[in-house]
Structure 1
């Protein structure tokens, strides 16, 4: 492999880990399988990460970023409040539909962490990152569209994270994209009703 910075190597290892997890499962994502997937020597892993937990934290952040970045980009576009909210949710949902196995990995990661001594904090941090992502989207919507929320943002972030997470898991197990889309549309309508124009 050509000489690259530690940051680039770290990103390549994280993406390799995601590919291994999607293909073979989280438990099969050993340091050896990850570096082999990335085409790097074993020492590269220990140079880039202090532990497997640090790698898994980066995997969660990266997968979350795959959808969060899309949503935030959509919110910068044209349109009113409701259009942007629905477009943001659609950006997330299209990623679920086109990368279902990546989303399955997130649920597998949660259970993997909860069942491994010393990794329970990873599962907690995973869901904290979802709350942070939802908070960022809600705050960006409010600021960009001149609205205020009628409920506290931390409460609304927890509500939207729960709805989206639940609908994603239901879809991944049921496979009915039309039913999931209709439920997501209902959730969007509810969230729209929780905003008011800034006086």
Structure 2
């Protein structure tokens, strides 16, 4: 039997940890359960990782990297509106395709805020920054206000997170598809109005400087 490279084993353990955390939570994500999910023994897990904390650090990086992939796939598009819609759709599809990813993300961020403070914030910060960079590239061509561009990743994140929690709660895939369309429609209505308001807002007059 061919020997499996350590890098591949690490990825197997990360994938396994996502499934185990989604099912049993952080406290229930024992090394034994993770090893069994990866179809490996505990000794192999400890060979790849010095501790469960080290494994969880890689799971965090996996989650952050998955968000970056989704966001970067939303670029380029012809307009700010189209790009923003693709961003929101991509985030919701990510949760829809893998409920375990959504459950693990929420569990990890909650756990990190309790145990490590800034680590939970970092996942959101990286996702928001990646989204903002995409919107800035597209927005520069349209001359869209920086204030509007900064709002887009936040609103897209808030809506997609709400969708994820609803989907995890009810697990109804047919209803979730309809809710994705509804959420996208709400987002489009908000952003269309926001862009229009920004275009028609009169320029602020500068005060005359007294001699």
**Shorter-chain TM-score range:** 0.7 to 0.9
How far did residue 64 of structure 1 move? Answer: 3.8
- C-alpha displacement of 1:57: 2.5
- Does residue 120 (structure 1) correspond to residue 115 (structure 2)? The answer is yes
Give a deviation string over 1:84-119, Cα, whole Å, max 9, x none.
2101211111222232232122222334445xxxx6
Q: Within the alignment, does 1:141 sit opposite 2:121 as a pair?
A: no
Corresponding residue of 1:62: 62
In structure 1, the partner of 2:208 is none
Query: What's 1:165 paired with?
Result: 161
Contact 2:35 2:42 in 1 (8 A): yes
Task: Please give the residue correspondences for 1:11-160 in structure 2 after superposition, counting only pairs within 5 Å.
Answer: 11-76=11-76, 78-113=77-112, 120-121=115-116, 124-145=118-139, 146-147=141-142, 148-151=144-147, 157-158=153-154, 160=156
- The CA distance in 1 between the partners of 2:132 and 2:15, in whole Å, is 28
The separation in 1 between residues aligned to 2:73 and 2:151, in whole angstroms, is 24
Of stretches 36-45 and 153-162 in structure 1, the one that deviates more from structure 2 is: 153-162
Q: Given that residues 79 and 138 in structure 2 are in contact (C-alpha distance below 8 angstroms), is that contact kept between their aligned partners in structure 1?
A: no
Q: Identify if the C-alpha distance between structure 1 residues 25 and 75 changes in structure 2 by more than 3 Å, giving closer, same or farther.
A: same
Question: Residues 74 and 179 (structure 1 numbering): CA distance in 2 closer, same or farther, change over 3 Å?
Answer: closer
> Which whole-Å CA distance do the structure 1 matches of 2:104 and 2:124 have between them?
15
Q: CA deviation at 1:83?
A: 1.2
Q: Look up the SS of the partner of 2:73 in the other structure.
A: helix
Q: TM-score, normalised by structure 2?
A: 0.70
Q: TM-score, normalised by structure 1?
A: 0.74
Return 5+ residue gaps in structure 1 as ranges: none
Deviation at 1:163, TM superposition (A): 4.2
In the aligned structure 2, how far is the partner of 1:187 from the partner of 1:99? 22
| RMSD (Å) for aligned C-alpha atoms | 3.2
In structure 2, the gaps of 5 or more residues are 200-211
